[in-house]
């Protein structure tokens, strides 16, 4: 045989041997799944709900126009700090000022008439007292004259006194009676005059009360032509200018907004929490707040308000007010009060709040991506001879079939024999990347953590090979 053929035959033999070895290797690795693994570890775990929104003051008031007219003065500018009761703006008030002056004059006239009436009542009281004193004096004289008359009459009848003296005392007594009757008439007349003067005074006082009430009303109208600060705060919005016409709000129409005053002593982050997370949020929970306009800083806060109305994410309208039934995502409003707001914060700034909803110390945890769901029927070992023909011949039990389709949450644990065995687990709180394990695993168990495709498709008791090497980055 020629040497050339010997070389060819040798090469063919080597190739066939290599092919045989390769085929044997491939056959031996048939059904082996390459996976990534991790361990069940103990660590501290924190559950956080992240939501975005904007900065808002806890208390702010929109100051609108309470009167119609031209804006004549603006005494503040946007960003100014104001105090409660401070004059902020003025609206044209020529007519109400004139009405106030006219009413003040009316009140002064009524008060002058009342003073005159009071003087007349006092004079009538003095006159009545004088007349009553004179009447009492006349009555005392009448009693004295009656005694003199009785004495003179007795002496005259006994013949001891002259008739002339008796008759003189008799006429004097009669004259005193007439004088008393005249005094009583004058007292009655003075009393009537006094009552008339008192009634006139009461009328004047009612006029004064009415004039004062009208003055209060007109002053209130004049006061409404000025805008005053209802609280201590900062002017955060000033949409008008001097010279613009402003109008008050009507029943179905809003009035002109002059400015907005915000109480910046209590600043909140109003965020929207997803409906799947809202059940974990509670009042008083702490939060870390970041503001887009103030980078690299985190501010502390706590939850002070949790909304009960779902808000459609696309429109911002309450779901109960939407005329169209929708299955779209919904949010709930949550208010987080900032514990120490910075001076440079402004209403309307975009922010993000990370609310700590739960914490656990030294608990078993696994990566979230390791969790998967399987139906019970997929976890049961198939009996021998369970081919399609045998399945067709067996009558299906609906209850058993329903039980087979029940879903079970768990992870795949790598056994000593290299098999992936499904373990049912109960979970607790969820952290950023890990989740708490309540039962079903123990510390240092090796579990399958990737890839996502493998976890989704791997079968129970499948042979696996662990490869935790990082995938090579493509060369650029």
**Count of all residues that appear for the chain in the document:** 476
474 lies in a domain? Answer: no
195 shares a domain with 116 = yes
Q: Is the dihedral of CA 292, 294, 295, 299 positive or negative?
A: negative
Q: What is the pLDDT of residue 28?
A: 43
Q: Give me the domain span that covers residue 327.
A: 49-54+265-359
126 shares a domain with 216 = yes
Q: What is the pLDDT of residue 146?
A: 80
* pTM exceeds 0.85 for this model: no
216 shares a domain with 145 = yes
411 lies in a domain? Answer: no
Helix then strand then coil, % of the chain, to nearest 5: 40, 35, 30
195 lies in a domain? Answer: yes
341 shares a domain with 277 = yes
211 shares a domain with 109 = yes
Q: Are 225 and 170 in contact (CB under 8 A)?
A: no
CATH number of the domain within which 129 lies: 1.10.287
183 lies in a domain? Answer: yes
- Domain stop point among 309, 328, 359: 359
Any residues with CB less than 8 A from the CB of 298 and at least 6 apart, and which?
288, 289, 290
273 shares a domain with 185 = no
431 lies in a domain? Answer: no
How many domains is the chain partitioned into structurally?
2
Across 107-128, b (16+ Cβ under 10 Å) vs e yields beebbebbeebbebbeebeebb
209 shares a domain with 138 = yes
Tell me which residue has tokens 């949450």: 409
Q: What is the pLDDT of residue 19?
A: 56
209 shares a domain with 300 = no
210 shares a domain with 307 = no
DSSP 167-192: HHHHHHHHHHHHHHHHHHHHHHHHHH
321 lies in a domain? Answer: yes
118 lies in a domain? Answer: yes
Any residues with CB less than 8 A from the CB of 209 and at least 6 apart, and which?
none
Burial class of 351 by CB neighbour count within 10 A (0 to 12, 13 to 18, 19+): buried
271 shares a domain with 219 = no
Q: Is the dihedral of CA 221, 226, 228, 234 positive or negative?
A: positive
- CA pair distance 280, 267, nearest whole angstrom: 23
275 shares a domain with 217 = no
209 shares a domain with 108 = yes
439 lies in a domain? Answer: no
- Domain stop point among 359, 387, 409: 359
CATH number of the domain within which 308 lies: 2.40.30.170
Q: What 3-state DSSP class applies to 258? A: strand
| Average confidence (pLDDT) per 10 residues, the chain, 476 residues | 60 62 46 88 93 91 90 91 92 90 90 85 82 81 79 77 79 82 82 84 88 91 90 90 89 84 89 92 95 93 93 81 70 93 87 94 93 86 53 65 87 90 92 91 91 89 85 54
- Domain stop point among 223, 239, 254: 223
Q: Omega of the bond prior to 391 within 30 degrees of 0, cis?
A: no
């Amino acid at each position: 045989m020629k040497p050339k053929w010997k070389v060819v035959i040798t090469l063919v033999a080597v190739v066939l041997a290599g092919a045989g070895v390769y085929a044997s290797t491939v056959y031996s690795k048939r059904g082996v799944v390459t996976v990534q693994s991790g361990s069940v570890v103990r660590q501290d775990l924190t559950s956080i709900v992240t939501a975005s929104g904007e900065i808002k003051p806890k208390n702010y008031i929109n100051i609108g126009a309470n009167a119609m007219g031209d804006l004549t003065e603006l005494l503040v500018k946007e960003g100014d700090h104001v105090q409660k009761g401070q004059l902020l703006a003025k609206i044209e008030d020529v007519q109400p000022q004139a009405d106030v002056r006219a009413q003040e004059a009316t009140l002064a006239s009524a008060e002058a008439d009342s003073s005159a009436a009071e003087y007349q009542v006092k004079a009538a009281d003095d006159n009545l007292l004088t007349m009553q004193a004179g009447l009492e004096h006349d009555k005392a004289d009448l009693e004295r004259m009656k005694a003199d008359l009785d004495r003179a009459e007795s002496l005259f009848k006994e013949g001891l006194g002259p008739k002339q003296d008796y008759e003189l005392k008799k006429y004097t007594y009669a004259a005193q009676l007439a004088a008393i009757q005249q005094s009583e008439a004058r007292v009655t007349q003075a009393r009537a005059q006094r009552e008339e003067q008192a009634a006139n005074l009461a009328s004047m006082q009612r006029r004064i009360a009415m004039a004062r009430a009208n003055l209060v009303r007109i002053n209130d109208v004049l006061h409404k032509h000025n805008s005053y600060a209802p609280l201590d705060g900062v002017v955060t919005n000033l949409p008008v200018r001097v010279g613009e016409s402003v109008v008050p709000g009507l029943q179905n129409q809003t009035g002109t907004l002059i400015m907005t005053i915000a109480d910046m002593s209590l600043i909140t982050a109003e965020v929207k929490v997803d409906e799947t997370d809202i059940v974990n949020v509670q009042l008083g929970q702490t939060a870390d707040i970041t503001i887009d306009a103030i980078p690299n800083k985190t501010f502390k806060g706590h939850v002070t308000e949790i909304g009960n109305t779902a808000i459609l994410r696309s429109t911002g309208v309450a779901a109960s007010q939407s005329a169209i039934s929708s299955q779209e995502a919904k949010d709930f409003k949550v208010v987080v009060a900032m514990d120490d707001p910075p001076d440079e914060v402004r209403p309307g700034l975009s922010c993000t709040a990370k609310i700590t909803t739960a914490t656990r110390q030294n608990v078993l945890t696994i990566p979230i991506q390791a969790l998967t769901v399987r139906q019970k029927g997929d976890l049961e070992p198939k009996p021998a001879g369970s081919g399609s023909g045998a399945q067709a011949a067996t009558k299906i039990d609906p209850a058993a079939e329903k039980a087979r389709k029940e879903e079970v949450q768990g992870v795949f644990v790598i056994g000593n024999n290299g098999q992936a065995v499904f373990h049912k687990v109960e979970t607790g709180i969820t952290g950023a990347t890990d989740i708490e394990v309540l039962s079903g695993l123990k510390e240092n168990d090796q579990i399958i953590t990737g890839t996502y495709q493998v976890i989704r498709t791997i079968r129970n008791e499948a042979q696996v090979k662990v490869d935790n090497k990082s995938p090579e980055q493509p060369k650029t």
